[in-house]
Amino acid sequence: MTTASPRRRDRARLPAPERRRQIIDVTTRLIAERGFWGLSMQDVADDCGLTVPGLLHHVGSKDRLLVAVLEHRDEQDHRSLTEALGRPETEVPLPEICAALVERNAAQPEIVRLFAVLEVESLAPDHPAHEYFRARQENTIRVMTTLARTHGVPEPETLARQVMALMDGLQIQWLRDPEGLDLITAWNTAAKALF
């Protein structure tokens, strides 16, 4: 006879929304540490005090769990950005939006790491987030291009691509050396030249 692990035996029953949030938080941390391919549903279940079937009851599949993590991150980032700007994004110049994004990211290295790991892994066409990241990149460039055009920037799409490349590149450097690179200072210095 097998006995349940101590985590499962003592687990508290949580309402479904709280359990889903716990699952997303645990999965976010594990993907940031190991990448999607290194993610084990058993590890997620163990850290949440669930069985794998119990975990699957809440999320459906590993691929759906990944999409839920990405969508949750996007919702949080959009809400946070809107609050930080204090007005609709369409009324804010692109440099101000970028500065707010960098400040938000500097405060959440684990989430930035998660996103960076998944973005690189998803370059493989068979990755479950491949289409998500392709569409996200296309949408980000489109939105930044529109914002730049609205504020009279010459060559708005070129600027949008440069902004995205610079932001992604600085974040990777910061993740490699968080003590040696201040992300906000590095962005502000580069943004002066870019904008």
* pLDDT tens digits along 146-181: 999 988 889 999 999 999 999 999 999 999 999 999
In a domain, 19, yes or no: yes
In a domain, 130, yes or no: yes
Q: Which two tokens stand for residue 121?
A: 């892994």
CATH of the domain at 37: 1.10.357.10
User: In this structure, are residues 183 and 172 in contact, taking their beta carbons and an 8 Å threshold?
Assistant: no
The pLDDT profile of the chain, 195 residues, written as one tens digit per residue, is: 444 444 444 456 888 889 999 999 999 889 888 888 889 999 999 999 999 999 999 999 999 999 899 989 888 888 888 888 998 777 888 999 999 999 999 998 988 988 898 899 899 999 999 999 999 999 999 999 999 998 888 999 999 999 999 999 999 999 999 999 999 999 999 999 998
In a domain, 2, yes or no: no
What was the pLDDT predicted at 1? 46
Query: Residue 139: which domain range?
Result: 11-194
With 0.75 as the threshold, say if the pTM is over it.
Answer: yes
Written as one string, the DSSP assignment of 94-115 is HHHHHHHHHHHHHT-HHHHHHH
What was the pLDDT predicted at 84? 87
In a domain, 1, yes or no: no
In a domain, 90, yes or no: yes
The Cα-based distances of 187 to 6, 133, 137, 165, 184 in angstroms read 46, 23, 20, 12, 5
Domain count, the chain: 1
What was the pLDDT predicted at 60? 92
What was the pLDDT predicted at 54? 93
Exposed / middle / buried, residue 195 (Cβ in 10 Å: 0-12, 13-18, 19+)? middle
Q: How many whole angstroms separate alpha carbon 146 and alpha carbon 50? A: 45
